[in-house]
């Protein structure tokens, strides 16, 4: 299955779903999303299949909570490193166990916003705010995505400015002191002076 493309995985998942093998269907749909992360239909199908597998119980599998706690810790570490693709995949791993988890939807939305998959990000953020109405954090995330969709250039400028600031900070880091001994420095100066004399000497026609 790992060798299949996104569309191929989606087709295989659809076949498995039609036969009622929802576990296999979920595996294929998750792989389809991983290989084609910007596809909104793949995301929606994946989420609908997970809800169907868990019989719309609104809590997911019995072991979902303990696994998701571990995944959130891993996501927090990936967020510090700005590993957006990893965050998305970890979030989807958790959402396969509990497709009604608002925080995982929001985390995946933020990751896809950073990757500029705006339609997917908006779907995920909207799902989070519908699962927990009135949550200010989710509302703000949803609005940020809408603004990025209206004005993607602003998002690009923001990323460029962040990269520039990081570059400037790196340049300001103190450089290592020279480890040359006084004797070595003196020899280096002598070699440099000799080189200058050679360069300045008149060249034969």
Give pLDDT tens digits for 77-127.
999 999 999 999 999 999 999 999 999 999 999 999 999 999 999 999 999
Read off the pLDDT of residues 142-154 as tens digits, 9 standing for 90 and up: 999 999 999 987 6
More confident residue, 164 or 117: 117
pLDDT of residue 16 exceeding 60: yes
Q: Which range is least confidently modeled, 30-39, 98-107, 191-200? A: 191-200
Q: Check if the beta carbon of residue 75 is closer than 8 Å to that of residue 83.
A: no
> For the whole model, what pTM was predicted?
0.74
For the record, the structure tokens of 161 come out as 């400015």
Cα 185 from Cα 199, distance rounded (Å): 21
Phi, psi of 47 (to 5 degrees): -70, -40
Task: State the DSSP string of 119-185.
Answer: HHHHHHHHHHHHHSTT-HHHHHHHHHHHHHHH-HHHHHHHHHHHHHHHHHHHHTSPPPPP---HHHH
Count of CA atoms in the C-beta half-sphere (13 A) of 151: 7
What does the pLDDT average to over 175-198? 45
- Short-list 78, 92, 85, CA closest to 123: 92
The runs of H, that is alpha helices, within 81-117 are: 84-97, 102-114
pLDDT of residue 167 exceeding 60: no
What does the pLDDT average to over 41-49? 98
What does the pLDDT average to over 37-41? 98
Q: Among residues of the chain, what percentage have pLDDT more than 70?
A: 74
């Amino acid at each position: 299955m790992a060798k299949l493309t996104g569309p191929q995985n989606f087709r295989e998942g659809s076949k498995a779903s039609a036969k009622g093998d929802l576990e296999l269907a979920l595996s294929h749909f998750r792989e389809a999303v991983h290989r084609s992360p910007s596809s909104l239909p793949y995301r929606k199908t994946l989420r609908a299949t997970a809800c169907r597998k868990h019989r719309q119980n609104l809590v997911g599998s019995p072991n979902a909570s303990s696994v998701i706690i571990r995944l959130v810790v891993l996501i927090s570490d990936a967020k510090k490193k700005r590993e957006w693709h990893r965050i998305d995949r970890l979030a989807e791993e958790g959402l396969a166990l509990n497709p009604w988890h608002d925080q995982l939807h929001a985390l995946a939305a933020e990751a896809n916003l950073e990757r500029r998959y705006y339609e997917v990000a908006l779907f995920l953020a909207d799902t989070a705010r519908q699962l927990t109405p009135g949550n200010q954090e989710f509302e703000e995330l949803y609005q940020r995505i809408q603004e990025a969709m209206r004005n993607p250039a602003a998002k690009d400028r923001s990323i460029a400015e962040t990269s520039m600031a990081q570059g400037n900070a790196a340049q300001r880091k103190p450089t290592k002191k020279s480890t040359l001994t006084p004797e070595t420095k003196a020899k280096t100066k002598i070699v440099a002076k000799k080189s200058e004399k050679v360069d300045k000497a008149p060249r034969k026609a």
